[in-house]
Structure 1
Amino acid sequence: MAFSRRLLSGYAGQRAGSDSGHAADLADDGGGSSFPAEQRSRWLPASCRERVKEHLASAGDLVPGLDLPPEALFCWTAADMEMFFASGGYVKPKLRLLYYISPECPQTIVDLVSPSLRMQNWACTVRPEPGNTPIFVWEGSRPSIDPSPTLSRGGLVNRVAPVLPITRKVGMLRALQKWCSCRRQEFPPPWYPVTFELPTSLEEWKQHVSQHPAKRWIYKPNGGARGVGIILVSAVEEVDSPERPFKERCRPQRPEDLHASPLEERYFAPTGIIQEYVQDLQLLKGHKFAVRAYLLIARVQPLLVLLHGAAYAKVCGQEFDSQCFTQADLFRHVTEQEFQKMGGQVHEDWKVRPVMLLEELAQELADETSGSAEVWLEKFWAQVQVICHQVVDTFRESLRDGAQLGMFEILGLDFVCKADGSVSFLEANRDPSWVIDGGAKKAIIPTLVTDLLHIVLQAHGESCTSIADSLQTCTGRYKFRVLIDETCSREDLEAIGCGREKKRNSAFYEGEEERHIELDGRLLLPCRRLEMGDFLLVKLEEAAASSSVRRSEVAPDGRDELRSFLQTPSTCRGGW
Structure 2
Amino acid sequence: MVVKEAAARTQQLAGLAKSLAQDTGDVVDGVFIWRESHFAFLFVLKRFFASAREIYLLQGTDQHAMALRLFRFLRSGHVPAHHDDPQFKKYFVGQGNNNTLIEQILAERGFTPVPVTEKKKPGAFYLPTFQWAQDHCRLDYSLFATTLKRHKGRPFLVNHCKGIRITEKVGMLASLEQEFGFKNLPAWYPKTLHVLSTNSMKNSEEGLPEAKWVYKPRANNCGRGIELFGSTRALLDFIANEKKTDGIVQLYIERPLLVRGRKFDVRMYLLIARTEPFLSFYCPVGYCRLCVNAYKSNNFDDVTMHLTNQAVQKTLKGMYKETKEDTTWTFEQMEAHLVENGRVEAGFVAREFLPKVKAIMVTLSGIVRQQVLPLVGTFDLFGCDFFLDDQLQLYLLEVNSNPAIYTDTQVLKDIIPTVLREAIDIVDAAHVPTANKPFCDQPWFECLIDESRNFQWDKTGTLPKKRKDLQARELWR
Q: Which amino acid aligns with 1:155?
A: F
8 Å CA contact 1:100–1:134 kept in 2: the answer is: yes
* Residue aligning to 2:189: 192
Match of 1:448 among 403, 414, 419: 419
C-alpha distance in structure 1 between counterparts of 2:35 and 2:134, whole Å: 27
Cα distance between partner residues in 2 of 1:340 and 1:315: 9
Partner letter of residue 414 of structure 1? D
- C-alpha distance 208-69 of structure 1, shift in aligned 2 (>3 A): farther
Pick the aligned partner of 1:366 from 324, 335, 339.
Answer: 339
Pairing 1:283–2:241 present: no
Query: Where does 1:527-542 land on structure 2 (aligned, <5 Å)?
Result: 534-536=457-459, 538-539=461-462
Determine whether 1:272 maps to 2:268.
no
1:102 aligns with 2:91: no
* C-alpha distance in structure 2 between counterparts of 1:141 and 1:541, whole Å: 30
Output the CA distance in 1 between the equivalents of 2:166 and 2:21.
42
Decide whether the 8 Å contact of 2:176 with 2:185 is kept in 1. yes
1:203 to 176, 199, 215: 199
**Contact persistence 2:291–2:307 (CA under 8 A):** yes
Q: Give the alignment of 1:365-514 within 5 angstroms.
A: 365-369=338-342, 371-399=344-372, 402-464=373-435, 466-468=437-439, 479-488=444-453
Aligned equivalents of 1:278 and 1:240: distance in 2? 19
Equivalent position of 2:222 in the other structure: 226
Q: Deviations over 1:396-435 (max 9, x none)?
A: 2223xx2211111100000001222221001000111110
Task: Please state how far the C-alpha of 1:537 moved relative to its aligned partner.
Answer: 5.6
Distance 2:448 2:331 in 1: 20
Match of 1:305, as an amino acid? Answer: S
| 1:312 corresponding residue in structure 2 | 287
Residue 78 (structure 1) shift: 4.5
Instruction: State which of 206, 209, 213 in structure 1 corresponds to 2:209.
Output: 213
Q: For residues 55 and 246 of structure 1, do their structure 2 counterparts lie closer, same or farther at Cα, with a shift above 3 Å needed?
A: same
| Structure 2 CA distance for partners of 1:370 and 1:196, relative to 1, 3 Å | closer
User: What's the CA shift string for 1:364-391, capped at 9, x where partnerless?
Assistant: 1111117433133321111111111112
Q: Could you tell me which amino acid in structure 1 is paired with residue 175 of structure 2?
A: A
109 and 141 in structure 1: CA distance in 2 versus 1, 3 angstrom threshold: farther
The offset of 1:127, in angstroms, is: 3.6
Quote the offset at 1:220 in angstroms: 0.8
Counterpart in 2 of 1:296?
271
Structure 2: 5+ residue stretches without partners = 1-16, 40-85, 120-124, 466-477
In the superposition, relative to structure 1, how do residues 540 and 271 fare at CA in structure 2: closer, same or farther (>3 Å)? closer
Q: Measure the CA separation in 2 of the matches of 1:329 and 1:105.
A: 26
2:241 pairs with 1:248: yes
| 1:526-565 to 2 correspondences below 5 Å | 534-536=457-459, 538-539=461-462
Deviation of the 1:361 alpha carbon: 1.1
Conserved? CA contact 1:58–1:67, under 8 Å? no
- AA aligned to 1:396 is R
3-state SS of 1:188 partner: coil
Is 1:160–2:118 an aligned residue pair?
no
Residues in 2 aligned to 1:360 and 1:348: alpha-carbon distance in whole angstroms: 20
User: How has the CA–CA distance of structure 1 residues 423 and 443 changed in structure 2, closer, same or farther, with 3 Å as cutoff?
Assistant: same
Would the aligned equivalents of 1:284 and 1:364 in 2 still touch at CA under 8 Å? Answer: yes
Q: Deviations over 1:164-194 (max 9, x none)?
A: x22111111111111122xxx7332111001
Report the secondary structure of 2:412's partner residue. Answer: helix
- Superposition TM-score, scaled by structure 1 size: 0.62
2:316 aligned with 1:343: yes
Distance 1:482 1:462 in 2: 20
Alignment of 1:129 onto 2:87: no
Identify the residue that residue 142 of structure 2 maps to in structure 1.
148
Shift of 1:196: 0.8
**For 1:224, what is the secondary structure of its paired residue?**
coil
Aligned residues: 391
Aligned to 1:173: 173
Do 2:190 and 2:395's aligned partners in 1 also have CA atoms closer than 8 Å?
yes
- Which deviations, in whole Å up to 9, do the C-alpha atoms of 1:198-247 show, x marking residues without a partner? 1x113312312321234211011111111111111122332334xxx734
Once the two structures are superposed, residues 292-336 of structure 1 have per-residue CA deviations (whole angstroms, 9 ceiling, x without a partner) of 000000011111110112100001112222233x2x231221000
Whether 2:34 is the aligned partner of 1:76: answer yes
1:238 maps to which residue?
234
Kept after mapping to 2: 8 A contact 1:310/1:444: yes
Give the deviation of 1:161 after TM superposition. 0.5
Q: TM-score, normalised by structure 2?
A: 0.73
Task: Give SS of 1:295's match.
Answer: strand
- Alignment partner of 2:297: what SS? coil
Distance in 1, matches of 2:449 and 2:361, equals: 10
Q: 1:115 to 1:467 in 2, by over 3 A?
A: farther
CA 1:313–1:150 in structure 2 vs 1: closer, same or farther (change >3 Å)? same
Give the direction of change, closer, same or farther, for the CA distance of 1:132–1:540 in structure 2 (3 Å limit).
closer
- In structure 1, the residue matched to 2:474 is none
Conserved 8 A contact 2:167-2:401: yes
Amino acid at match of 1:301: E
Distance 1:132 1:158, change over 3 A: same
**2:266 and 2:289 in contact (8 A); partners too:** yes
Q: Whose relative contact order is higher, 1 or 2, with alpha carbons under 8 Å and at least 6 apart?
A: 2
What is the DSSP-based 3-state SS (H/G/I as helix, E as strand, rest coil) of the residue aligned with 2:453? coil
Q: Give distance in 2, aligned partners of 1:207 and 1:315.
A: 34
| SS of structure 2 residue aligned to 1:369 | coil
Distance apart, 1:363 and its partner CA: 1.5
Counterpart position of 1:545: none
Counterpart contact for 1:217–1:276, Cα < 8 Å: yes
Q: Deviations over 1:447-491 (max 9, x none)?
A: 11111111111110144263546x55xxxxx510111111225xx
- CA deviations over 1:19-64 (Å, ceiling 9, x no partner): xxxxxxxxxxxxxxxxxxxxxxxxxxxxxxxxxxx996674699xx
